[in-house]
Amino acid sequence: MYNKKKNIMKKYECEPCGYVYDPEVGDPDGGIAPGTPFEDIPEDWVCPICGLGKEVFVVVE
């Protein structure tokens, strides 16, 4: 989720393994450019650590 007021993109954590997707960093090895919000990542993208899909990720508060 993109917070327009604070201009901050939220981080998402893979619940099973703990990997945190940081949109400022992206996932260059997975073809995701820095600055890509989680919502804009293709549905077939998987966690670079455990290989599970986006559905296991939760917003980091």
The CATH number covering residue 31 comes to 2.20.28.10
- Domain residues for 42? 2-59
Q: The pTM is what?
A: 0.85
Per DSSP, the chain holds a count of helices (H) and strands (E) of 0, 5
Q: For residue 8, what pLDDT is reported?
A: 81
Q: For residue 43, what pLDDT is reported?
A: 97
pLDDT tens for the chain, 61 residues long, are 554 545 689 999 999 999 999 999 999 999 999 999 999 999 999 999 999 999 999 999 8
- Tokens for 36, please give them: 């890509």
Q: For residue 7, what pLDDT is reported?
A: 62
Check whether 47 is labelled as a binding-site residue.
yes
DSSP string, 21-43: E-TTT-BGGGTB-TT--GGGS-T
Check whether 14 is labelled as a binding-site residue.
yes
Check whether 51 is labelled as a binding-site residue.
no
Report the domain count for the chain: 1
Dist. CA 37–CA 43, nearest whole Å = 13
Short-list 4, 54, 6, CA closest to 21: 54
Q: For residue 11, what pLDDT is reported?
A: 98
